[in-house]
Amino acid sequence: MLTTGKAILDVANEHSFAVPAFNISDWAMFKGIVEISEEKNAPLIVGIHPDEARHIGREMITGIIERSHNASVPVAIHWDHGATYEQILRAIQYGFTSVMIDASLKPFDENIAISKRVADSAHALGISVEAELGTIGATDGEAEEGADTIIYTDPDDAVTFVEVTGADSLAIAIGTYHGIYPAHLKPELKLDLLKEIKSRLPIPLVLHGGSGNPDDEIAEAARIGINKINISSDIKVAYHDKMREMLADGKLREPNSIQPACVEAMKVVAAHKIDLFGAAGKGSLY
Ligand SMILES: [Zn+2]
């Protein structure tokens, strides 16, 4: 069934697991992600970035909402990295049940002001809000925006930020980058920092840039306080690597001949993430 981000994440917080937020940008990927979530009986957050929304068009959001209503597991449709107040209002009008306002590259006071404005309006409409404090890194031009260097989230600031803004969940910077890590960049999470933030701020915490980090670190983060992990690059790489392989057969022409194998390859990666985050079987908690 379709529900809000808060409804999904509060249960994850209570039971110490993380819900995958899979970014999708076409119907085959979306359909596959819902199917694997149903097969694993795992709650799902469908992440759609403004660039992805532009790519798929508003009409497809209507289809995503309809399929989510019919899903056997709870699904939230989440506006990923909203840039402005006006953009967030549009997302809510489109039918998103969860929105992120990302003003993390702005000064602290400005971030607080815009995040509070978004939370006040979204909450009046029953929509959940994720905000971000600290900056995660960016690896390449294909990845979402990020900073050149990571500014780790300060625990004192995080407490103040959530008190003032009223955000339902908070994306924190503990050492991840958007995109795929280049060979010279060793991904490493500051799990002690996560523990400290969680002990002082017991709301659902969010990890962006979760592709490419070592499995054991990610699993530990999900156990000790991260309740939503964004996965974009890893499933898209699996989908398109398989597509390149399929397209090597020049005789193939029909999308229904080419895409199913790509979706299957993507589902294998998605299933692994669901298991890693401790989300498998958790649909029955709702
Ligand atoms: Zn992100």
DSSP string covering 190-203: -HHHHHHHHHH--S
Total-model pTM: 0.95
Ligand 1: centre distance to CA 151 (Å):
15
251 vs 144, higher pLDDT: 251
Supply 228's token pair: 């939503």
Supply 224's token pair: 């000790």
Q: Which residues are catalytic?
A: 80
Give pLDDT, residue 140: 61
Ligand 1: centre distance to CA 25 (Å):
15
Give pLDDT, residue 180: 72
Ligand 1: centre distance to CA 81 (Å):
6
Ligand 1: centre distance to CA 248 (Å):
32
181-229 pLDDT, tens digit each? 777 777 788 999 999 999 999 999 999 987 778 899 999 999 999 999 9
The angle subtended at Cα 276 by Cα 274 and Cα 278, nearest 5°, is 70
Give the mean model confidence (pLDDT) for residues 227-242. 96
Give percent of the chain with pLDDT exceeding 70: 96
| 189 in Cβ contact with 154 (< 8 Å) | no
Ligand 1: centre distance to CA 250 (Å):
36
